Chain A
């Protein structure tokens, strides 16, 4: 048997040979066409959708024959279905043919006699029947014919469950057929009194609750519990800070000191709000600039556009509704969390946060130190306890006093606060490349995470500093304790000591 290296090479060569090359000409035509596999996958799902539609049609025709004398078309909705009505279930996991469970995406909402099924790109709004645990879905409106690759896998249950076995155990609902078992959890939201249970898309907000004043919103924080478009529950991309697949709690907004901050799951945006004739009008302020991937960034864009479309706004107790066009967002007030200690919202970028009164460790009689968040911190010195456990690139010689190297100081910037709701963002510039990442914080304990510090095109001396800083901010480091005084910011962990000064 060849040694491990040879085996890896052998497998590499064989594997690479199975992938069709991409030519320069293809790349120059703004990307090569999808691979045959991707085309096949899409075709397969389109076929499944067609097959599911045909199955639904057959079931519907058969059922009409059975209940043909019962007057207007109405599917069986006996007592068995009572426990489902008015409830929304979010898909959690999908297990196919005895395989391992995978994350699933999508939702099922049951109204009096209809089921709204949303897989993310496909959807069905149709009558349903439940008899002896067997769920059948009748003819109704459908949307979506092909799925983007982002949702194709996690939502594949939605095309094959035209007829499935259903079990309900408290908050958990399971649907299964011969090939797939899908687990759901109840995500029903409390509805304001008077709200229709089965078609919220046609309910005007103003008819069920009163428009709030800005004073009603002040100091309150809301999270989405339901988002509907065209009557369908919209499946949200999980927030970067809350990786639960299918979690509906990705959109939030809150208002402090007259500034409304909102997020679609990735970046935050601050607004100056007014409410006129029951409509929320927003003037855009500042926005954080996190990179969270195409899907989440698109969700941010969608949510911000929705908020900026002057939606109707109404409040009933702790439930807030926004309605614009055929989109309805229901948000529920969150239990009071730590109020941002800055007078500027968390999402405000550093250029405007400098005047904020963010918390700091403020020694008596010293000049006012800079806040942790929003200050550009320049690295002064970096050192590591040589006896500390762990491995360090031997080319890094410590301590480094940056001033003595003649290189520009790398900077570190805590772009946003780390709160209960959201991890903080850090950025910086090391003289040759930008640093990006996140951090979490509890009191004066701070832990960097997913810090990326590419080293392309760095001069050797700058690279050594950047390497050291990158190593200090790597994941799985013991947490740092930070202190700020007039001399600057000091980060200390078991191994590392980093001294920064305010730029």
Chain B
């Protein structure tokens, strides 16, 4: 492998790894996130020439990480008081767990990870309009459960 590829891959990982780590942490839970992350990055390296040319490589390899590892039925998300900042609503984690998987993934990637809807569409293998629908419904459900203001 040319040194240039190694350098490019290293630069890409430096930027993409934190984004993917945060994404998998919420979607798979911290216990399983690292395995999915490792699978995703290993795939990126194995197919670096193709991945490097992608407009949305992060979304693509996220999907690879998802498909290469087996999800739990419900991700093991730790309660807010275990990991979270002190001002986190204790109802947030149960509310997230209560969401359907697609809605939870979409709202996590868009609002917690700040991914664009196009990136999320690629990551989930669905259209941006469906992402938007999932996010809207997820936010409504979260707000309903948390009774927080609708300015998120």
A positions within 8 Å CB-CB of B: 1-24, 26-28, 30-35, 37-38, 102-103, 149-150, 153, 293-295, 391-393, 396, 452-457, 467, 470-471, 474
What CA separation (Å) do A103 and B71 show in the bound complex? 13
What CA separation (Å) do A454 and B152 show in the bound complex? 28
Contact of B22 among A3, A16, A102 (CB under 8 A): A16
Q: Is the interface of B mostly helix, strand, loop or mixed?
A: helix
Task: Write the chain A residue with the least CB distance to B121.
Answer: A455
- Provide a sorted-by-A list of 28 A–B residue pairs whose CB atoms are within 8 angstroms: A1-B87, A4-B148, A10-B85, A11-B88, A12-B112, A13-B22, A15-B26, A16-B18, A19-B24, A19-B25, A19-B34, A21-B18, A21-B21, A22-B37, A24-B6, A26-B41, A27-B42, A35-B34, A37-B31, A392-B129, A393-B127, A453-B125, A454-B60, A456-B55, A456-B59, A456-B60, A471-B127, A474-B127
Task: Write the chain B residue with the least CB distance to A26.
Answer: B38
Q: In the assembled complex, how far is the CB of residue B62 from the closest CB belonging to chain A, in whole angstroms?
A: 12
Name B5-41 residues within 8 Å CB distance of A.
6, 9-10, 13-14, 17-18, 21-22, 24-26, 30-35, 37-39, 41
B34 touches A457 (CB 8 A): no
- One digit per residue, 1 when the CB lies within 8 angstroms of any chain A CB and 0 when it does not, for chain B 39-75 equals 1011011100000011110011001000111101100
What CA separation (Å) do A156 and B142 show in the bound complex? 34
| A contact residues around B133 at 8 Å (CB) | 391
Q: In the assembled complex, how far is the CB of residue A111 from the closest CB belonging to chain B, in whole angstroms?
A: 33
What CA separation (Å) do A294 and B87 show in the bound complex? 42
Contact of B92 among A11, A38, A293, A455 (CB under 8 A): A11
A11-B84, A22-B34 known; A467+B55 contact, CB < 8 A: no
What CA separation (Å) do A491 and B129 show in the bound complex? 21
Count of A-B contacts judged by CB separation below 8 Å: 187
What CA separation (Å) do A454 and B73 show in the bound complex? 25
B56 touches A27 (CB 8 A): no
A456 touches B56 (CB 8 A): yes
Q: In the assembled complex, how far is the CB of residue B44 from the closest CB belonging to chain A, in whole angstroms?
A: 7
* Besides the known contacts A7-B146, A9-B112, 14 further A-B residue pairs in the complex with CB atoms under 8 A apart: A4-B139, A5-B111, A7-B89, A7-B148, A8-B111, A12-B22, A16-B18, A24-B9, A27-B9, A31-B42, A38-B35, A149-B69, A393-B132, A455-B122
B10 touches A24 (CB 8 A): yes
A12 touches B121 (CB 8 A): no
| A contact residues around B108 at 8 Å (CB) | 8, 12
Contact of A456 among B34, B54, B80, B143 (CB under 8 A): B54
Contact of B129 among A20, A35, A467 (CB under 8 A): A467
Task: Write the chain B residue with the least CB distance to A40.
Answer: B31
Q: In the assembled complex, how far is the CB of residue B75 from the closest CB belonging to chain A, in whole angstroms?
A: 10
What CA separation (Å) do A470 and B45 show in the bound complex? 30
| A contact residues around B32 at 8 Å (CB) | 35, 37
What CA separation (Å) do A17 and B97 show in the bound complex? 20
| A contact residues around B121 at 8 Å (CB) | 454-455
Q: In the assembled complex, how far is the CB of residue B122 from the closest CB belonging to chain A, in whole angstroms?
A: 6
| B contact residues around A294 at 8 Å (CB) | 68
B6 touches A28 (CB 8 A): yes
Interface centre among A14, A21, A295 (most CB of B within 10 A): A14
Interface centre among B31, B53, B113, B139 (most CB of A within 10 A): B31
**B100: CB under 8 A from chain A?**
no
What CA separation (Å) do A156 and B80 show in the bound complex? 29
| A contact residues around B139 at 8 Å (CB) | 4
What CA separation (Å) do A20 and B44 show in the bound complex? 19
Interface centre among A2, A16, A30 (most CB of B within 10 A): A16
Q: In the assembled complex, how far is the CB of residue A86 from the closest CB belonging to chain B, in whole angstroms?
A: 33
Interface centre among A12, A34, A38, A474 (most CB of B within 10 A): A12
Task: Write the chain B residue with the least CB distance to A28.
Answer: B45
Q: In the assembled complex, how far is the CB of residue B132 from the closest CB belonging to chain A, in whole angstroms?
A: 8
B30 touches A15 (CB 8 A): yes
What CA separation (Å) do A467 and B37 show in the bound complex? 29
What CA separation (Å) do A2 and B121 show in the bound complex? 28
Task: Write the chain B residue with the least CB distance to A27.
Answer: B41
| B contact residues around A15 at 8 Å (CB) | 22, 25-26, 30, 77-78, 83
A393 touches B143 (CB 8 A): no
| B contact residues around A470 at 8 Å (CB) | 126-127
What CA separation (Å) do A37 and B32 show in the bound complex? 8
What CA separation (Å) do A35 and B31 show in the bound complex? 8
A3 touches B148 (CB 8 A): yes
A20 touches B85 (CB 8 A): no
Contact of A4 among B17, B55, B63, B152 (CB under 8 A): B152
Interface centre among A27, A37, A293 (most CB of B within 10 A): A27
B25 touches A4 (CB 8 A): no
B42 touches A30 (CB 8 A): yes
Task: Write the chain A residue with the least CB distance to B70.
Answer: A150
Q: In the assembled complex, how far is the CB of residue A349 from the closest CB belonging to chain B, in whole angstroms?
A: 23
Q: In the assembled complex, how far is the CB of residue B116 from the closest CB belonging to chain A, in whole angstroms?
A: 12
